[in-house]
A = this chain, B = another copy of it.
Amino acid sequence: MKLKAGILGATGMVGQRFMKLLEGHPYFEVSALMASSKSAGKKYCDVAKWYLKDEIPKGVSDMIVEDIDTKVADKLGLDLVFSAIPSEIAREVEGEFAKKIPVFSNTATFRMDEDVPLIVPEVNPEHFDIIAEQRKKRNWEGYIVTNPNCTTIGFVIPLKPIMDKYGLEYVHIASMQALSGAGYEGVPSMAILDNVIPFIRNEEDKAESEPLKILGKLDNGKVKFADFDVFASCNRVQVRDGHTESVFLKTQKDCSLEDLKKALSEFRAEPQRLGLPTAPNPPIIVSEREDRPQPYLDRDNGCGMAVTVGRLRKKKEKEFKFTCLSHNTIRGAAGASVLNAEVALKRKLL
């Protein structure tokens, strides 16, 4: 018996990725598609412009889109929802759903709330424990679990084994982000042709704050933020999918380049140990080729869930550079939420 999952914001790009990732999923089945009221009451295939190259899953094509309303959850007996709704409406909408059932949210709104876990299962699965506090404090039967921004996730996963073994002083990242991160209509072709745009609204704030929560330690039911500097500079480039990031970092303890490579390539965590359906194994692929990772060639590694790290170089004592790449709408969005739900199930939170 699969759990019944609803998708909030089913017609957008991340909503569509949810559907593809849940097609034939062993734990969850898509039981409700919810979107804005202008789509409600119509067949999904008639209202959604399908953006992905892969075909629309057969099961959902003819489903009737519902309003985003907790009555739908009641009516259909949903066990959980995945959310990809705009951040402006998320506080109210996700909050309503969380009163009743678990919400796995890809939206930024709740991420930095003290009692809401911001989880990357390879990094901080123990943060699921603050859900108890959240439910108690908010008097919710359900709960909200969030996953980070698509820029954050690409470098926070490689930082985990490095921080654990060698500590971190600072991390500087310059991103080259894909068009899909802005939504299908987000970047006009006239804006990006023969161009780079060195600005993405609010992105640097997220990339500089979220990693410190994710890499933070649980201390008496609260997250104690990690203590190092993250500086980010975010750029948009003409790439369909896949965020590439140039990372500069300083560790607390020195180590050799080979030590660092080993820490990255041998890294495994709870999702890999549990053999979860959406977990990439390994989670970090270390490429030795001098000109990789490249978004066109590497974004689909691990079915879009692996982070590919390359060009690892040591410049001086404790100072390293590398380039990392992850698929922004899979690992950086829908896939992250689904993996969170898989871990939640194993932890008996579903």
User: Which residues from chain A sit less than 8 Å from chain B, CB to CB?
Assistant: 51, 53, 172, 174, 176, 179-180, 184-199, 208, 229, 231, 233, 235, 237-240, 244, 246-248, 290-297, 300, 310-311, 315-316, 319, 321, 323
Of B172, B192, B199, B290, which one neighbours A189 at CB under 8 angstroms? B192
Complex contact B199–A291 (CB within 8 A): yes
Q: What are the residues of chain B within 8 A of A231 when measuring CB–CB?
A: 248, 315, 319, 321
- In the bound assembly, the distance between CA atoms of A294 and B190 in angstroms comes to 13
Evaluate whether A297 and B53 lie within 8 angstroms (CB atoms) in the complex, with A238-B189, A248-B172 already known: yes
Considering the complex of A and B, which 4 residue pairs feature the smallest CB-CB distances, nearest first? A174-B174, A174-B246, A233-B246, A199-B291
Q: Name the residue on B nearest A13 (C-beta).
A: B190
Q: How far is the CA of A198 from the CA of B239 in the complex (A)?
A: 13
Chain B residues, Cβ within 8 Å of A185: 185, 188, 190
Provide the main secondary structure of the chain A interface: mixed
Return 5 A-B CB contacts under 8 Å, by A number: A53-B297, A196-B295, A229-B315, A231-B321, A248-B248
A322 to B, closest residue via Cβ: B233
Q: Please state if B294 and A196 are interface contacts (CB–CB under 8 Å).
A: yes
Complex Cα spacing A108 to B77, Å: 53
**Does A198 lie within 8 Å of B294, measured CB to CB?**
yes
Contact A239 B199 (CB under 8 A): no
Give every chain B residue within 8 A of A51 (Cβ-Cβ): 190
Bound CA–CA A169/B162 (angstroms): 24
Known contacts A180-B190, A189-B189, then 11 further A-B pairs from the complex at CB < 8 Å, ordered by chain A residue: A184-B190, A185-B185, A185-B188, A187-B190, A188-B188, A195-B297, A196-B239, A198-B293, A198-B323, A199-B292, A238-B238
The distance from the CB of A322 to the nearest CB of chain B, in whole angstroms, is: 8
Taking a contact as CB atoms under 8 Å apart, the answer to whether A291 and B197 are in contact is yes
Are A198 and B237 in contact, with the CB atoms below 8 A? no
Contacts of A191 in B (CB 8 A): 184, 189
Using Cβ atoms and an 8 Å threshold, which residues of chain B touch A233?
A: 174, 246-248, 311, 321, 323
